[in-house]
């Protein structure tokens, strides 16, 4: 489900440029700094995912399973005013400042020591923006003396880190056509890499690369089969080859409005020199209109950051008919199995399977369920890589008695997924992934649909239902070598925030009930919690400053669940919204 669906009032409210960018010529955050982020440098948080590979692991251990009892607030910062909606961001920390994005495409610079506001930039949003899943923003990127982030009207904005003044601003696409963006960009080799949102409007998903210092487009790669990629040099646009083959896995001209939005952005694996990124659902939701696999929607892609060429792909849900997407993050790690070490990537997909792929070629290694119920498939064939479907798909409306509504089926997971956007973490010491999962299903049916530019392009209706009375969310520790769940923590409401893990044998995540919680990374025992006053659906981070380890997390309930959660939304309607940044450290006696 992309970050664009209905108007805001419904929410009640070239390569040569790359080669010319040398790390030594950049003042501030350099390419080498980004390579060291989360690995050699733990005094900053420089990129989405904490490190390039997205492990969300920190080797810091001053805060650990023994000392966690002494963790207390250092300060809190309020975003203020009436704009208190979902706060899903991951903060960045550099040069004594915290950079954190907030709802309505705002970004703040805050003194990391005191919590004093240094500056705020509030992007002016037009009335006609089309966000699907709340007016959220997930974070920014740092390069040189710039902080760069995207906006809900599909712009990319670079600000001076010291002053908050705009240095450059580039239009990603036309928001009136359904495009938007809320993902955190990443910077690789001097290029700022972004995806696009808007899959429910029949946009065409793609990945763009711009010179991070100027904003000028260097290459663009559509991710729907049949579309042309391009490179740009000196104002000249040059064709860079088709994505796949026109019409091979799409009927007629539906590939021209095929969805596949890259709405969560990606990570970078320096070892294979690949941007690893997932693609979203094909459009429309009504799969009966588009027989075929519909490449490269609902897929995992490895893209050459210098050229935009797709190196390999793996499709998790061919001919997706449930809005399962495939956009979930791809986290690089070394898999030790059968006496071998494999350069692997882990992915907890919306469709309910945890996939392990060889990140050098995209070959499937394993696929195991991480939720308790999957009605759509019984497993994944390891030889073909394809799901073993049950045939439980919503009915074809063209074959119904009135031609208006196909047969309703109950499907699990729901379209909000076994795991949605919230990023998991991988602990290099325990060898476990920590996955924020949800247990829910949905009634879903198909309806006739015709494409109209700028209008919702679904052809489906739905109602989400919890599977169990006592819990929906479940933080699960998964062994990627076996697919087994080592431990789990159950939460009454859905889990909708990111995960952080550390060498201190800790796992942090938040709950919509307002708690930031810490667990023993090996056993899952809850060791600590703190009530922040609103739901925690952001991403916690950690860093060292003046010899002390700090933890930071945004607080502010919102996102897709209260908007589209059906019976689930009613069950947790008592939760309150907010907007603040909390920072913690150990109490000194």
**Cis peptide bond upstream of 30, omega within 30:** no
- Confidence at residue 567, expressed as pLDDT on a 0 to 100 scale: 92
**Cis peptide bond upstream of 2, omega within 30:** no
Residues 28, 421: Cα–Cα separation, whole Å: 30
- Closest among 123, 181, 158, 195 to 28, alpha carbons compared: 158
Residues 476, 192: Cα–Cα separation, whole Å: 33
- Confidence at residue 270, expressed as pLDDT on a 0 to 100 scale: 98
What b/e readout covers 103-117, taking b as 16+ CB neighbours within 10 angstroms?
bbbbbbbbebeebee
CA-to-CA separations, 589 to 72, 411, 586, in angstroms, rounded: 12, 54, 9
Residue pair 293/319 in contact by the 8 Å Cβ criterion = yes
Q: Does residue 535 lie within any of the structural domains?
A: yes
57-58 and 499-502 beta bridge pairing: parallel
**CATH code, domain with 456:** 2.140.10.10
Q: Which H or E run contains 502?
A: strand 499-502
- Closest among 442, 465, 264, 444 to 347, alpha carbons compared: 264
Q: Does residue 3 lie within any of the structural domains?
A: no
What is the residue-wise DSSP string for 116-128? -EEEEEE----TT
- Confidence at residue 513, expressed as pLDDT on a 0 to 100 scale: 97
Whole-prediction pTM value?
0.95
Q: Does residue 1 lie within any of the structural domains?
A: no
Calculate ∠ Cα 566-570-575, nearest 5°.
125
Structure-derived torsion over alpha carbons of residues 479, 480, 484, 486, reported in degrees to the nearest 10:
20
Residue pair 342/357 in contact by the 8 Å Cβ criterion = no
Q: Which residue has the tokens 């089309």?
A: 130
Sheet holding 310-315, edge to edge: 266-269, 274-278, 299-303, 310-315
Q: Does residue 404 lie within any of the structural domains?
A: yes
- Confidence at residue 488, expressed as pLDDT on a 0 to 100 scale: 98
Q: Report the DSSP beta bridge partners of residue 146.
A: 143, 160
Structure-derived torsion over alpha carbons of residues 166, 172, 177, 180, reported in degrees to the nearest 10:
-70
Q: Report the DSSP beta bridge partners of residue 155.
A: 171
Please pick, among 51, 323, 325, 349, the residue that the annotation labels catalytic: 323
Contacts of 20 (CB under 8 A, 6+ apart): none
Q: Does residue 544 lie within any of the structural domains?
A: yes
Residues 140, 188: Cα–Cα separation, whole Å: 14
Q: Does residue 391 lie within any of the structural domains?
A: yes
Residue pair 453/460 in contact by the 8 Å Cβ criterion = no
Residue 575: count of CB within 10 angstroms of its CB? 18
323 is catalytic: yes
Per-residue pLDDT in tens (0 to 9) along the chain, 589 residues? 433 333 333 333 333 333 334 344 678 999 999 999 999 999 999 999 999 999 999 999 999 999 999 999 999 999 987 677 899 999 999 999 999 999 999 999 999 999 999 999 999 999 888 777 789 999 999 999 999 999 999 999 999 999 999 999 999 999 999 999 999 999 999 999 999 999 899 999 999 999 999 999 999 999 999 999 999 998 899 999 999 999 999 999 999 999 999 999 999 999 999 999 999 999 999 999 999 999 999 999 999 999 999 999 999 999 999 999 999 999 999 999 888 999 999 999 999 999 999 999 999 999 999 999 999 999 999 999 999 999 999 999 999 988 889 999 999 999 999 999 999 999 999 999 999 999 999 999 999 999 999 899 999 999 999 999 999 999 999 999 999 999 999 999 999 999 999 999 999 999 999 999 999 999 999 999 999 999 999 999 999 999 999 999 999 999 999 888 889 999 999 998 999 999 999 998 7
Give the chain's domain count: 1
Q: Does residue 311 lie within any of the structural domains?
A: yes
Q: Which residue has the tokens 């709950």?
A: 511
Q: Does residue 407 lie within any of the structural domains?
A: yes
> Which range marks the domain in which residue 452 is found?
8-586
What b/e readout covers 450-483, taking b as 16+ CB neighbours within 10 angstroms?
ebeebebbbbbbbbbbbbeeebbbbbbbbebbeb
- Confidence at residue 8, expressed as pLDDT on a 0 to 100 scale: 38
Residues 429, 407: Cα–Cα separation, whole Å: 49
Q: Which residue has the tokens 């969300």?
A: 56
């Amino acid at each position: 489900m992309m970050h664009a669906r209905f108007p805001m009032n419904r929410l009640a409210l070239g390569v040569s440029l790359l080669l010319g960018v040398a790390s030594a010529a950049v003042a501030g955050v350099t390419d080498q700094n980004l390579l060291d982020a989360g690995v050699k440098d733990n005094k900053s948080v420089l990129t989405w995912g904490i490190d390039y590979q997205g492990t969300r692991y920190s080797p810091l251990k001053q805060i650990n399973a023994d000392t966690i009892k002494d963790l207390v607030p250092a300060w809190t910062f309020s975003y203020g005013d009436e704009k208190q909606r979902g706060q899903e961001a991951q903060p960045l920390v550099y040069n004594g400042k915290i950079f954190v994005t907030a709802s309505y495409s705002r970004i703040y610079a805050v003194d990391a020591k005191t919590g004093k506001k240094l500056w705020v930039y509030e992007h002016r949003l037009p009335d006609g923006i089309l966000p699907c899943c709340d007016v959220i923003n997930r974070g920014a990127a740092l390069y040189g003396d710039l902080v760069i982030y995207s906006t809900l009207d599909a712009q990319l904005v670079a600000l001076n880190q010291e002053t908050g003044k705009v240095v450059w601003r580039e239009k990603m696409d036309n928001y009136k056509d359904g495009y938007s963006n809320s993902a955190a960009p990443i910077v690789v080799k001097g290029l700022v890499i972004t995806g696009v949102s808007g899959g429910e409007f029949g946009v065409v998903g793609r990945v763009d690369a711009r010179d991070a210092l100027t904003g000028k487009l260097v290459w663009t790669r559509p991710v729907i089969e049949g579309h042309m990629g391009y490179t740009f040099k000196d104002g000249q646009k040059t064709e860079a080859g088709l994505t796949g083959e026109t019409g091979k896995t799409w009927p007629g001209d539906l590939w021209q409005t095929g969805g596949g939005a890259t709405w969560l952005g990606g990570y970078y694996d320096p070892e294979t020199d690949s941007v690893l990124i997932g693609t979203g659902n094909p459009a429309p939701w009504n799969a009966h209109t588009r027989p075929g696999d519909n490449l490269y929607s609902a897929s995992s892609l490895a893209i050459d950051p210098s050229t935009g060429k797709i190196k390999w792909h793996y499709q998790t849900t061919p001919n997706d008919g449930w809005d399962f997407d495939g956009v979930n993050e791809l986290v690089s790690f070394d898999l030790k199995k059968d006496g071998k070490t494999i350069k692997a990537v882990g992915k907890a997909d919306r469709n309910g399977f945890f996939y392990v792929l060889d990140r050098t070629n995209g070959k499937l290694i394993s696929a195991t369920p991480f939720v308790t119920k999957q009605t759509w498939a019984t497993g994944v064939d390891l030889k073909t890589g394809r799901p073993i479907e049950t045939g439980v798909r919503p009915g074809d409306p063209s074959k119904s008695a009135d031609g208006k509504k196909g047969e309703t089926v109950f499907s699990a997971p729901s379209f909000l997924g076994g795991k949605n956007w919230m990023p998991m973490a991988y602990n290099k010491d325990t060898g476990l992934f920590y996955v924020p999962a949800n247990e829910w299903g949905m009634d879903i049916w198909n309806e006739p649909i015709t494409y109209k530019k700028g209008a919702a392009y679904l052809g489906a209706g739905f109602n989400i239902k919890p599977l169990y009375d006592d819990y929906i969310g479940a933080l699960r520790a998964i062994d990627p070598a076996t697919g087994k769940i080592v431990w789990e923590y159950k939460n009454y409401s859905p889990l909708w925030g990111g995960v952080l893990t550390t060498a201190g044998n800790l796992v942090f995540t938040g709950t919509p009930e307002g708690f930031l919680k810490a667990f023993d990374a090996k056993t899952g025992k809850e060791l600590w919690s703190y009530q922040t006053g609103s739901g925690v659906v952001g991403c916690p981070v950690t860093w060292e400053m003046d010899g002390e380890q700090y933890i930071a997390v945004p607080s502010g309930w919102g996102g897709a669940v209260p908007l589209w959660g059906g019976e689930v939304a009613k069950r947790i309607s008592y939760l309150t919204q907010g907007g603040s940044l909390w920072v913690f450290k150990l109490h000194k006696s």
